[in-house]
Every structure is written in C-alpha cells, then in structure tokens.
Amino acid sequence: MSLLMFVALAGYLIAYRINQSAVVGIILAGIIVGPSLLGMVTYTDFVETLAHLGAVVLLFTIGLEFNIKDIAKLPYFVIAMFGIIVPALGGFFLASLFGYEFNASVFVGTALTATSIAITANVLKEMGKLQIDAAKAIIGAAVIDDVLALLALSVSEGLVGGELSIMSLLGTAGKAIGFIVIGILIGQTVLRGLIIRLDRTQIAWKYHETIFIFAIMIAFLYALAAEAVGLSAIVGSFMAGASFGGVKLTRGQIFREGAEHLQIIFASIFFVSLGVIMDLHFVTWNVLWFVLALSAVAILTKLIGCGLPALIQRIGFRDSLIVGIGMVPRGEVAMIVALIGLGQNLIDQSTYAALILMSLLTTIIPPLILRNWVFKRE
C-alpha cells in the first residue's frame, strides 16, 4: 500500500516534469515499477481489489457531476453505435490481414469496441472540462457503448462457439437495458428522495458520516448489480453517482468531498495498476508491428466512428474532434475482453500482450492530444 502510494506520488512528479496529465504520469510510473522494468510491484489480488475499488469510486465521483437527463440523448446513441461497428470491423479485417484465424480475428475486433470512460473523464475532470457539451457526449456515448460492447462480446462468443442464438442475445440485451432503465428510475425517484430524507433525520444530525456511508453503499450496490447483469461495475457506480448529482443537502457536501478523497487514493492505485498489468517482455519485434498497426486502427476507427456521426449531427468540428479523441481509450475494458479470449484459448499470449499494449497506447495517447493540442490555446 505504501509502495503504491509512493508510485502514485512518483507519477505526479513525472506528470509535472513532462507537463502531462496526472493519469499519464501515474500509468508511466506503474510501467516503470511493474514487471516490465523494475519488477517491484506485481499485479496481485490485493492490488486488483484496491484498483477495482478505485475504478468504482472514480466513476461514482464523475457521476456526481452529471444528471442522467444530460447524457441519455439520441445523438449520443448514434455516436456510440458507430463507435462500436467501425472499430469491430476495422479490428477484424486488420487481424485477418495479419494472418489470424477467423475466431481470433473476431476477438480482436471485439476488443476494439469498448470505450473506457475512466481515463478520458478523469482527464476532462483534471482540466475542469466536465461540463462542456463534448464531455457530456463522450460520457453519454461511452455508457451506451458499454452496453453495446457487452452485446458485441456475446455475439462474438456466439459466432466463435457456433451457437449464436437470437434468444440468448436478446436476453443479454434485455438484462443490461433493464438494469439501466430500472437503475435510473430508482436513482431519480427513490434514492434522491432517500438521501434527502436521511439528511433531515436526527441520525444524520448526530452522525454526519451516515450520509457518506449511505452514498458509498449505493455506489457499490449499483456496481454489484451492473456486474450481475454482465455490464462493467463502473457503469453501475457512474449511474449511482448520477442519481445523487446536483442533490443539495442541509448537512453540506460530506458525501461529495468524502468520495473525492476516497477517489484520490484509490483511483491513483487504479492507474498504477494499469501500468503494472502490462509486461513489456511479451512484446517481441514481430508483435510490435501488429501492435502499432492495431493501435493505429483502434485510434482511427473510434475517431472516425464517433467523430463523424458527431459532426453529421451538427455537434461542431472542434467538439466532434474532442468526442472522437475522447472515445479512443480502451483501458481496462479491452484488457478484460483480452483476458476472456485468453482464458478460452481463442487468442495466444502474444496476441494477448498485443491487445493489452494497444489498450495502453490508446489510453496514453488521447490525454496527450487533448492536453497538448486541443485545449492548448486556452
């Protein structure tokens, strides 16, 4: 734990020296201390547990700055849909081109579909840009994206296993969409009401911390429910956060500040773990070409697949560019898909390493672009 904090601090120092976002610095620090270079930290269960907590808390605090109504919009759905289809096709054809089998190619395509909101959202948060329209589009589309990527995973598992049933697909979609609809309804009515009522009770007057504990409980409850229907936990905690977004309590902002403080520690661990999970030793020269081509495809397909629909829907050139870049990071979602593929023997160790490295590159590059080019002039 102490070591993880030290690595995070070193990450801030790196970020400060190279004048980049803290996320990039911390991931780089993670790579340096991880198995790739120094081998001081390995991805143990302990690190995984804390990193998981970190991702959940991070998306909860980001959710707090949103209102569900801002992000559930048709244009974002269109952006999300093309942001799935274009990368999936791009990944599939690239893998086929590199001589991969059909099954492996399908999985590579699937790994390119999901967007990791955690990274971009944190960069936007660091720069104080969470409330601009493009940020809302990114978050909205990324949440929808997560549902669609889950479906894409089911489809590709069906394709590969040769038993693609419409029924099971509809079942998966139904559960995911049902969770989101019910989650939002409960959040907007019951939970908002509950926290406001709790705030007025004698218990909250005597023990301020109960409000904070209640909010964190809901965050993890939603995360659990999201995982139960097959979505990633962070979609759940984001929805929980958005349920409390804009709630005004008489007893101050303890749950907001508290979540922020939890996030500082545990999200740092999450970003360290992203660097640690990566072992550069698996990357041979042969793999490297594939990684570079794959990362290029991953970046271009999201840029076009999300940016173009945004532009067509009159979101404006600069904002469409931000949306396209913001949707690029694959982060831990692609890593999870890669892990599933490896577990089912559909891809080998080197393809696994290539996918991990691709998701790392797509995670590091967009913050650099956003920071140094897009928001540079401000």
Q: Which two tokens stand for residue 195?
A: 């926290």
Nearer to a copy of itself by C-beta: 1 or 170? 1
Give the nearest distance from C-beta 226 to a copy of itself in angstroms.
12
**Shortest distance (Å) from residue 268 CB to a copy of itself:** 6
Q: Using the Cα atoms of residue 341, residue 121, residue 189 and residue 208 in order, give the sign of their dihedral.
A: positive
Task: Kindly state the smallest distance separating residue 228's Cβ from a copy of itself, in Å.
Answer: 12
- What does the binding site for a copy of itself look like in residue numbers (CB under 8 A)? 1-2, 5-6, 8-9, 12-13, 15-16, 22, 45-46, 49, 53, 202-203, 206-207, 209-210, 212-214, 216-221, 223-224, 254, 257-258, 261-262, 264-265, 268
Nearer to a copy of itself, 112 or 219 (CB): 219
**73 or 251: whose CB is closer to a copy of itself?**
251
What length does the chain have?
A: 378
Alpha carbon distance 267, 272 (integer Å): 9
* Alpha-carbon span 119 to 32, nearest angstrom: 19
5: which 2 tokens?
A: 């904090």
How large is the angle between the packed helices 331-343 and 117-126, nearest 10 degrees?
160
Report the alpha-carbon distance of residue 6 to residue 106 in Å, rounded: 40
Shortest reach from residue 21's CB to a copy of itself, in Å = 10
Distance from C-alpha of 337 to C-alpha of 334, rounded to nearest angstrom: 5
Residue whose CB is less far from a copy of itself, 97 or 217: 217
Is the CB of 87 or the CB of 183 nearer to a copy of itself? 183
Which pair of structure tokens corresponds to residue 50?
Answer: 């804390």
Residue 196: how many CB atoms within 10 A of its CB? 14
**Which one, 60 or 92, has the nearer CB to a copy of itself?**
60
> Contact 267/330 with Cβ under 8 angstroms?
no
Which one, 182 or 213, has the nearer CB to a copy of itself?
213
Tell me how far apart the alpha carbons of residues 122 and 225 are, in angstroms, rounded to a whole number: 24
In the bound complex, what is the minimum distance in angstroms from residue 242's beta carbon to a copy of itself?
Answer: 17
Closer residue to a copy of itself in complex, CB, 48/169: 48
Nearest approach in angstroms of CB 327 to a copy of itself is 26
Q: Which is nearer to a copy of itself, 53 or 142 (CB)?
A: 53
Minimum CB separation of residue 260 from a copy of itself in Å reads: 8
Rounded to a whole number of angstroms, the minimum distance from the CB of residue 305 to a copy of itself is: 34
- At its nearest, how many Å lie between a copy of itself and the CB of residue 293? 36
Burial class, 94, CB count within 10 angstroms (exposed 0-12 / middle 13-18 / buried 19+) = buried
CA distance 161 to 108: 16
**Can you tell me the distance from the alpha carbon of 41 to that of 49, in angstroms, rounded to the nearest whole number?**
14
Closest CA to 334 of 305, 306, 299: 299
- Answer yes or no: are the C-beta atoms of 113 and 359 closer than 8 Å: no
